[in-house]
Amino acid sequence: MPKYTLSVNNKQMSVEVDADTPLLWVLRDELNLVGTKYGCGVAQCGACTIHYNGNPVRSCQLPVSAVGNGKVVTIEGLSENGDHPVQQAWIEMDVAQCGYCQAGQIMAAAALLKKNSNPSDEEIDTTITNICRCGTNVRIRKAIHLAASKGGKS
């Protein structure tokens, strides 16, 4: 099997996997970074959202062979101490119910705030397309506004 060296959360990590292996499964099964979640495998639900060169990407659709030198950041690497403004806002708003989709939601929200520091409801609604089966959507929207008010792009 081919060998790949990836930049994940600012560390160089090596894996030997088939070229078509989605980054999602490399993170979860090879690198033991299980915060990135599997939900659908077809880029619909967003549970596997990571940052790739700063952009939100559904890692179930990114084969390891296409990652190259791109910088991958997962929920584990979003902040050093788990205190990114979006993570703080999620705790403050007590967003989670089951919590399974929230890593993907947070990564999508953090990427949005990096590009747009004060998004409107409309901008949140069209950008955040992740699925939450528990229906925490109302609190997610409020938490994004809260993170924005705290300078959420850091």
Positions touching another protein (CB under 8 A) are: 1, 17-18, 21-22, 25, 28-42, 44-45, 47, 74-76, 78, 82, 87, 90-91, 94, 96-103, 106, 121, 124-126, 128-141
In the complex with another protein, the residue whose CB is nearer, 145 or 153, is 145
Nearer to another protein, 71 or 79 (CB): 79
Contacts of 14 (CB under 8 A, 6+ apart): 3, 4, 5, 6
Q: Looking at 24-152, which runs of residues are DSSP E strands? A: 49-52, 55-58, 71-73
Of 89, 59, 87, whose CA–CA distance to 74 is shortest? 59
Q: How far is the CB of 27 from another protein (least distance, A)?
A: 10
Beta bridge partners of 4: 15
Cβ 36 to another protein, closest distance in Å? 7
State which amino acid sits at residue 96: A
Instruction: Supply the minimum distance, in Å, between the C-beta of residue 93 and another protein.
Output: 9
Of the two residues 96 and 113, which places its CB atom closer to another protein in the complex? 96
Q: Decide: 26 and 64 in contact? Cβ < 8 Å.
A: yes
CB of 71 to another protein, least distance (A): 18
Residue among 53 and 126 whose Cβ is closer to another protein: 126
**C-alpha span between 32 and 40 (Å, rounded):** 20
